[in-house]
């Protein structure tokens, strides 16, 4: 798991758990026999920590010095104002955490200050203060209980020698920019969508990009059928020169997996049209709310919409879509690989049975899988 994290730079955390949380699905797709408890154990042992890297992500703890410069959701100026505007609340919050140890916003229900409005949703002053202190590096996330976050002093969460390791801000920004190229593998100079979110302003980011190229950290390459230069890590050029044979296995790819960041590249290189439809009204969805692309070897061949029913210890498959021209029953090795993937997913979900929607009779017959 740590090897995967270091190779990718970070993995995005997301609390939605209808088919498994995003970070768990990313690890499940890459680590044989993965169980969500493993990631929780690394977190509790402080071998990984949460940082903002494009989005809220898990990062190896020994990389903390390169993530000290944190922008937060709205930037350091906004969070500094949150502390200044709620100074009395901020002082009480820090005093209680220092005295009592890890606390959540729910522990301060009587400490509520003036209500603010963030993105159309009310957010009380305590939550604003907790996030601002996190951005400033005074506190960090100690643990989660469901979606409730518990905060503690950073000095109690990470080793003193790690906290004492100072890295210049520019090197931190270079490290973060490089981590986005590590995570994706074939990004262009401008990234894709929000790939480079929270890495300085565009002019500074362009300077950082040029520096990475001049250092030789990333190398330009041409990809047949893809417009413009793409950039890969210097250490990974050899993979392009002598690519390994793709493993004939099936993996279900998380919606926020870094493999899916550049949807234009997916369309031009892999002929796969991808968009996450979670924010779409149901009537406008072509596929579904939480749909996982199906990777077979080096091809994206379809999509599956599973739901984990934890109360009944089962997985429900709501739908499956196959790419045009792909016939699962005739693709060599696919049926056995899909059965293996479904068995692994049942173990991952802690489920004992797999239930197929009524209209998926063909898939049920092909892939009937038991734990």
Asked, for residue 62, whether it belongs to a domain, the answer is no
Residue-level pLDDT at 56: 84
Residue-level pLDDT at 161: 92
**CATH number of the domain encompassing residue 323:** 3.40.630
For residues 267 and 317, membership in a common domain is answered with yes
Asked, for residue 227, whether it belongs to a domain, the answer is yes
| Ranges in the chain, pLDDT < 70 | 70-76, 109-123, 369-371
Contact 214, 39 (CB under 8 A): no
Contact 15, 31 (CB under 8 A): no
Cα 303 to Cα 157, 169, 292, 317, 354, distances in angstroms: 40, 41, 5, 11, 17
Q: Which residues are 144's β-sheet partners?
A: 149
For residues 150 and 185, membership in a common domain is answered with no
Name the CA dihedral angle for 212, 168, 185, 237, rounded to a multiple of 10 degrees.
50
What 3-state class would DSSP assign to 109? helix
b/e for 299-334, b at 16 or more Cβ within 10 A? bbbbbbbbbbeeeeebbbbbbbeebeeeebeebeeb
**Residue corresponding to tokens 């042992």:** 45
The tokens describing 231, both together, are 């950039």
Cα 256 to Cα 235, 278, 353, distances in angstroms: 25, 11, 26
Asked, for residue 86, whether it belongs to a domain, the answer is yes
Burial of residue 281 (CB within 10 Å: 0-12, 13-18, 19+) is: exposed
Considering 226, 244, 262, which residue would you say is the last residue of a domain? Answer: 244
Task: Give the range of the structural domain holding residue 115, as residue numbers without chain letter.
Answer: 76-163
Domain count, the chain: 4
For residues 231 and 254, membership in a common domain is answered with no
For residues 118 and 185, membership in a common domain is answered with no
Q: Residue 174: which H helix or E strand, with range?
A: helix 169-184
Residue-level pLDDT at 124: 74
Contacts of 110 (CB under 8 A, 6+ apart): none
Distance, in Å, from the CA atom of 70 to the CA atom of 80, rounded to the nearest integer, reads 12
Angle, vertex CA 199, rays to CA 197 and CA 203, nearest 5: 105
Residue-level pLDDT at 327: 96
List the alpha helices (DSSP H) in 251-297. Answer: 263-269
Residue-level pLDDT at 68: 82
């Amino acid at each position: 798991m740590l090897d995967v994290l270091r190779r990718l730079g970070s993995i995005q955390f997301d609390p939605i758990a209808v088919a498994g949380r995003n970070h768990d699905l990313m690890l499940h797709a890459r680590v044989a026999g993965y169980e969500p408890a493993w990631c929780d154990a690394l977190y509790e042992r402080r071998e990984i920590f949460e940082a903002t890297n494009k989005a809220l992500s898990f990062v190896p703890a020994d990389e903390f010095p390169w993530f000290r410069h944190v922008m937060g959701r709205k930037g350091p100026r906004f969070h500094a104002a949150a502390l200044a505007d709620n100074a009395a609340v901020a002082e009480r919050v820090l005093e209680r955490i220092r005295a009592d140890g890890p606390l959540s916003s729910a522990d301060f229900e009587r400490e509520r200050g003036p209500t603010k409005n963030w993105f159309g949703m009310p957010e009380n002053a305590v939550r604003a203060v907790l996030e601002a202190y996190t951005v400033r590096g005074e506190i960090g996330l100690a643990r989660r209980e469901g979606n409730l976050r518990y905060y503690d002093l950073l000095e109690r969460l990470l080793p003193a020698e790690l906290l004492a390791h100072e890295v210049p801000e520019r090197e931190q920004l270079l490290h973060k920019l490089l981590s986005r190229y590590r995570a994706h593998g074939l990004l262009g100079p401008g990234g894709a969508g929000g790939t480079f979110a929270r890495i300085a302003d565009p002019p500074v980011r362009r300077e950082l990009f040029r520096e990475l190229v001049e250092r030789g950290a990333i190398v330009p390459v041409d990809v047949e059928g893809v417009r413009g230069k793409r950039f890969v890590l210097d250490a990974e050029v050899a993979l392009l020169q002598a690519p390994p044979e793709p493993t004939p296995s099936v993996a279900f790819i998380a919606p926020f997996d870094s493999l899916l960041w550049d949807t234009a590249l997916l369309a031009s290189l892999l002929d796969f049209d991808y968009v996450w439809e979670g924010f779409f009204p149901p009537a406008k969805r072509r596929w579904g709310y939480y749909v996982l692309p199906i990777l077979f070897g080096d091809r994206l061949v379809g999509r599956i919409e599973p739901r984990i029913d934890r109360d009944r210890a089962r997985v429900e498959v709501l739908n499956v879509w196959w790419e045009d021209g792909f016939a699962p029953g005739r693709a060599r090795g696919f049926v056995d690989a899909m059965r293996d993937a479904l068995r692994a997913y049942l173990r991952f979900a802690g489920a004992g049975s797999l239930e197929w929607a009524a209209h998926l009779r063909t898939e049920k017959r092909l892939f009937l899988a038991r734990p």
